[in-house]
Structure 1
Amino acid sequence: MRHSTLGHDRFQNKLELRALRQVTLNVLVVDDEPSILELLQSALPELENCAVSVAASADAALQMIKTAEAPFDCLLLDIQMPGTNGIELLRQLRKTPGNLETPVIMLTAMDDQKHIEEAFLEGAFDYITKPFDFFELRSRMNAAHLLMMERIRAKTSSASIQDLRNELEFNQQFSFEDPLSIEGLERCLRYVEFDHYIDQLSRGRRSDSWVTAVKLQGAEYRFDLIEFGAFRRLISDIAQRIDVISHRTEGVFCYRGSGVFLIVTHGRGLTSQLPTEDILNRDLKQAVSDGCLSAVMSSPVSMRSFSKSGAIAAMNQALEKVNSRESALGKSAAVHTHMKLENTPILEEKSTGRLFDTVLREMYGDTTYLDRK
């Protein structure tokens, strides 16, 4: 069903992008380098409709954000600034009314995995290093703004009454393959942000990152059997346990749809601290009310690649491993069930024979044809 609308979705995205280009984007650039501010303020409006405001510090930016008549459409934040840096500014921005979904693109000359990870976990949409290509930057700004509008539309269209909206959103229909957004977890990234995070890892040429897949066992069967809200709660329950794991291993994770999570860790030492499948399931049984809830895990797959395609290949390999693990467990359970079924008729036949004998003896006494030689 989802693939049948792919062409329509692409066409719709083109229409929305064309419409977006007719609208002036209100952009705030925050950087302590005057040359960068001057460059962006002059170059961005020349590319497309764009009104650029600038701030030389985080404090000045926060004041502009709080006093603005309407939230900015996009923010470009430098990370390495004196005083309050860009990541702390982003953290404060997310607490400012009206800016929970404002797209933020980090601008920096740094290429450090720790800063990349921290920025995404605080709610950055994308990350671009200096010196940057203006056309690429504008393209990412468009993508960020389109996604922000889509997310706002999805949130506001579910209900007109605030106290009903959360429940309706929680139970709204979705496909089994859909990557649900899970809010309120510190180490969990949404689908698009996770892809951008992986992209930055590959650009940074890291060679010690690993990806591990975790899957709700029998996920598709459960999805068909229960209500949308109940399935979403199962996924949320597993996500909460994975968030604890990710804190312990300093990793990040994402729900990718189809009952599957991907966890990215860095270094063999931290990766080795991931729990085994048995320990994960024991923790799930202790923490979740559904005692039948269980998950399968892949072994960690090295993302030792200097390209995005190599990183994607590693993620696909982790998915194949976890699906194979689930399939193997399913076959083992099927064999065990078949062996039990083979023995069951014999026991039932014996039991039925004894009952028949008892009835005859009650009707005719002990002297029946059963006693004849």
Structure 2
Amino acid sequence: MSVLIIGSVSNDVLRLQKYFHRISIPNIHCFSTTEAAMNYLVDSSLKDELELIVLDTKMTLSNCEEICQHIHVLKNWIDVPILLSTTYEKNITIDRVFEAGIFDFILKPFDFTHFKTRIQVALKYQKEATLRKQQESMIQKDLFVAKKFQKERTISSIKS
């Protein structure tokens, strides 16, 4: 399991790393920009084990659109819950980032109990989503086999 942190405020990123270590998640990858994280993900096998992304940013009303674009790029590329770490609490702006694809947010200053709860919920969602995708894939394979079998039976009954 891996966690990706995208953030430029070093003290906040260090605190996030410390909290992840406290909840026994040691495999953490940190990047200062979304572009750097995307470049790394494209060139590595990390995307196969990535279970959570934390976007640590100073969100304001003026840069909300930019943050939404970053979230949109990440959600289009990979289906992993994204948590926004921010000090900003304005409902209208928070609604916009949820619409862009944010899964949840963690408010600063960080509270370990709050952090742990949000992370556990996101990881549970990720596991359930992965299981659902595997089940859907198996159903699609079964449907393909059933259609093929039905087609073969139809053809053999026509020939008879």
Deviations 1:121-145 (A, max 9, x none): 1221111211121232122112111
CA distance in 1, matches of 2:107, 2:53: 15
**Structure with max Cα Rg:** 1
Correspondence 1:54 to 2:19: no
For residues 320-339 of structure 1, the aligned pairs below 5 Å read none
Q: Percent identity?
A: 21
CA distance in 1, matches of 2:56, 2:13: 11
CA distance in 1, matches of 2:121, 2:29: 20
**Aligned position for 1:314:** none
- The gaps in structure 1 that reach 5 residues or longer are 1-24, 166-373
CA distance in 1, matches of 2:75, 2:54: 14
Extract structure 1 runs of 4+ deviating beyond 3 A: 79-82, 161-165
**Aligned position for 2:152:** none
Decide which of 59, 64, 72 is 1:91's aligned counterpart. 72
CA distance in 2, matches of 1:35, 1:129: 15
Residue identity in the other structure for 2:110: F
State the TM-score, normalized to the length of structure 2: 0.73
By how many angstroms is 1:42 displaced? Answer: 3.0
Correspondence 1:120 to 2:101: no
How big is the alpha-carbon RMSD for the aligned residues of Structure 1 and Structure 2? 2.5
Contact 1:79–1:87 (8 Å) recurs in 2: no
* Structure with higher RCO (Cα < 8 A, 6+ apart): 2
Distance 1:85 1:64, change over 3 A: farther
**Aligned position for 1:157:** 135
Deviations 1:74-107 (A, max 9, x none): 111124378x9432211001121xx12x011111
- The gaps in structure 2 that reach 5 residues or longer are 145-160
State the TM-score, normalized to the length of structure 1: 0.34
Contact 1:80–1:86 (8 Å) recurs in 2: no
- Does the residue aligned with 2:27 lie in a helix, a strand or coil? strand
Contact 1:78–1:86 (8 Å) recurs in 2: no
Deviations 1:281-334 (A, max 9, x none): xxxxxxxxxxxxxxxxxxxxxxxxxxxxxxxxxxxxxxxxxxxxxxxxxxxxxx
Distance 1:68 1:85, change over 3 A: farther
- Does the residue aligned with 2:85 lie in a helix, a strand or coil? strand
Distance 1:75 1:159, change over 3 A: closer
Distance 1:39 1:95, change over 3 A: same
CA distance in 1, matches of 2:67, 2:35: 11
Contact 1:107–1:128 (8 Å) recurs in 2: yes
Structure having the larger proportion of residues in helix: 2
Number of residue pairs aligned between Structure 1 and Structure 2: 137
Distance 1:79 1:113, change over 3 A: farther
Decide which of 131, 136, 140 is 2:114's aligned counterpart. 136
Deviations 1:200-258 (A, max 9, x none): xxxxxxxxxxxxxxxxxxxxxxxxxxxxxxxxxxxxxxxxxxxxxxxxxxxxxxxxxxx
For residues 130-209 of structure 1, the aligned pairs below 5 Å read 130-160=108-138, 161=140, 164=143
